[in-house]
Each structure stands twice: as structure tokens, then as C-alpha cells.
Amino acid sequence: MPPLRSIANKPLKHSAHSIPANPIIGVRSYGDTPSTVVKYATGMIRGLQDGGVLCLAKHFPGHGDTSMDSHLTLPCVDKPRTELEKMELAPFRAVIADGVPAIMTAHILFPTLDDSGVPATMSRRIVTDLLRGEMGFTGLVTSDCMEMQAVQKFFGTVNGVLAAMNAGVDLVLISHTTRLSGEAAAAAAEALADGRLDRAELEASVARILAAKAKLAATPAPAFDAAEAAAQNDRLLRATITEVHVPRAGRPDLGAHPLCVGCPVYRTGLVGNVVDDVAQSFPTMMAAHLGGEGVTTAVDPTDEEIAALVDRAAGCTGIVIGSYNGHLHPQQLGLAKALAAVGKPIAAVALRNPYDLFSLPENVYTLVAYEYTARSTAAVADVLRGHSAAPGRLPIAHPDFANKEAQ
């Protein structure tokens, strides 16, 4: 295996607090503060374990504080250890104390934790010295997929696998390519034979894996009622719909012929769900609930498309716009602002991250649905028709709406 640092290009850096521009985490996190994450993560972990599910906490030491996606490149979180302790490491310390059975590593550089130029997954200082030694974690350590470009592009998947095993990772994941799995297994066997991998450490990893399997096998399978589970899931979803801003005029009366607009659902990242029916878009579904018409836009509507929709809105009784990662696709927010200026009653719904809503004018009524699905659209429609409340609580900090009219 060649020296890892000779393969890596200069990484892309970002240093800040957990940021809205993160393209891959967003609603995959419980919130933007350690206390919020700990509250919900510990409850979820306990519930999964009670149900006989081996769960893990990810991505150690943290993935929230970068504007880069490790599926596509090699991010770097370059912040002092004191800040890492307060934000990134605090939730992991809490779930370790609460008995989380497994932790997944991040393909991210943390130079204040390890300045050798390798990401956390491949860092013995981070996996063995910090996570196992200093933080006292005794459960399973798994990697993220080693085919992600943070590893494959900068180090090579097979080299990365060997480095992760040397770092102390118990389960190294190759999620897609059978050929690479075979090459990595052969390379690991060769490295074990010639002493580049420590046999005692690998046997300790095997012991942890077998212990986790034995514990799962001893957990009785709980009774499961699919229909009741689906109904409970819908009740929980409706409880999360969040009313973010109510204009001075109150919740809008959208009338009998609203204009419903928004982009189609699309895969937001390599970890996003595969879209089976791209024709089933938010505006089409919303128009079916509310009446009126639905117009599906591009993910980044053009200026001409925005102008045409503004003209079209003149004949409607109200406007509903759905945004999907609008804070990363500013033309979506440009469309919302242009439609807000028409003067009709208007509602905007964030179908993923709430950040989309914070720059909209004061006259826009805003909701967060957190997901782009038929069931979330139905729940939002019931709120807009006044048939149900929006009792959810925003899981992130948001600015005041003062001076929005000036924006």
C-alpha cells in the first residue's frame, strides 16, 4: 500500500458552526444543537434496541459543519478542539454513555484531531485513540461506504479499506461494487499474512461482531401490526408539520382556485431515496387536494419561467409554493418572492430543510413538512384548509421576521 498522503490532493475546507449550506445532512439530523440531538437520538436508539434493531450513531466525529458532501469530495472541518468538544463530540459522548451499540465514522478531515492528512475513517488517532481510548467506546465501529469520493478519489477504495482496518474500524463497508469488495478482501488477507494488519486487533473486532450478533439473537422479536404502524406513522408525521411564520393578516384564505407551484421531487444526494414516480409532484398533488391548478417548475426555474408564473398568478385566488432545498437553489426562492409580490394570499411549504423559509417576505405564510411525499402533502393540505393544526416545533434556530418587508 503506497503512503496515503502521497495520494491525497489538497482538501476543501470549511470552518464554522453547523451551517444551512450543508448539502447532505439537513433533515437527516435531529437539530442544530447538541442538546436537541442528544434528546431525540438517545430515545431513538433505545427504541430501536428494544425492537431488536442494531443501530448506530453517525458520522463520527461529526458531519454537520461543512458545506461539502463527502460522497463527492473530501471535506475538512478545521476548528479548535474546544469547539469540537462543544458541538461535534458532545452528542457522541452522550450516546456512548447511554449504551449506543455502534458508531459510524466520517470521511472528513479533522486536522486538530489528526494532522496526518487522512479522514476520520482512516485515522488511528481518531478511531482508536479518541473514540475507543479517550471516549471509552467499546461497541462496534463501522465505516461509511468506502466507495464515496472522499476516499475513492483521494486515496483509493482498497487502500482506504486497509487504512480503516489499521485505524481500528471493525466493519468496513463497500456498498456497491462486488469487484472492489473482492479486491479489498484479498488485500486484507495479504496484509494480515505479512503483518501489515495486526491479528490480535482483527480478532478483537471479530469478537465484538459476534457479541453484537449474539445480543440481537437473544432479543425477542416484538409483535408488529403493519396497519397500526402505518396509522401511527401518519399521526406522528402530522404532529411534525410546523408553522414557522404567520403574517399579520393571519393564515391565508387561498380560495377556490389557487395556483400551486413547485419543482418535482428529485434525488437530493447519493443517500436520497430513489424516486419511482417523478410525475407525482407537489403542485399536482396539492391542486388535487385544494382545487385550482398545479404547475411543475424546473428545480431552478428560469427568469422567464418566473415571469410567466407571475402573470398566471394574476387570475388565481391564492398561491401555494413548495420548495425543495431552496436555500441551495436560489431561483426557487426567487420565484416565491416574485409570487409574494403579486398580492394574493400565499403560503410557502419547505418540503425538506426549513432554511428555505427564512428570507421570504412578511406576507408569506410558511410551513415546514420536512419531506416530499404524498402523505406530507396531504397533511399540509389539511392545515391550509383549516382542518388540522400545525403543532410541530422548529428543530433549528431561526431569525426574527422583523424587517422582512425591506428584503
Is 32 catalytic? The answer is no
For residue 296, what is the DSSP state? E
Q: What share of the chain is helix, strand, coil (3-state, %, to 5)?
A: 40, 10, 45
For residue 195, what is the DSSP state? T
Q: How far apart are CA 172 and CA 155, in angstroms?
A: 15
Q: In 3D, which of 131, 380, 144 has the Cα closest to residue 240?
A: 380
Q: Which residues have CB under 8 Å from 53's CB, separation 6+?
A: none
Q: Which residue type is seen at 352?
A: R
Q: Which residue type is seen at 406?
A: A
Query: How buried is residue 233: exposed, middle or buried, by Cβ count under 10 Å (0-12/13-18/19+)?
Result: exposed
Q: How far apart are CA 407 and CA 394, in angstroms?
A: 23
Q: In 3D, which of 217, 161, 224, 216 has the Cα closest to residue 189?
A: 161
Q: How far apart are CA 272 and CA 251, in angstroms?
A: 32
State how far the alpha carbon of 4 is from the alpha carbons of 122, 152, 175, in Å: 10, 12, 22
Q: How far apart are CA 337 and CA 303, in angstroms?
A: 12
Number of helices (H), then strands (E), belonging to the chain: the values are 13, 10
3-state secondary structure of 219: coil
Within 13 Å, how many C-alpha atoms sit on residue 158's CB side? 16
Q: How far apart are CA 23 and CA 21, in angstroms?
A: 6
At 144, which helix (H) or strand (E)? strand 140-145
From the list 69, 144, 170, 356, the catalytic residue is 144
Q: Which sign, positive or negative, has the C-alpha torsion 151, 155, 158, 160?
A: negative
Q: Which sign, positive or negative, has the C-alpha torsion 19, 24, 25, 26?
A: positive
Can you tell me which residue has the cell 487504512?
A: 163
Q: What is the DSSP pairing of strand 242-245 with strand 102-105?
A: unpaired
Q: Which residues are catalytic?
A: 144
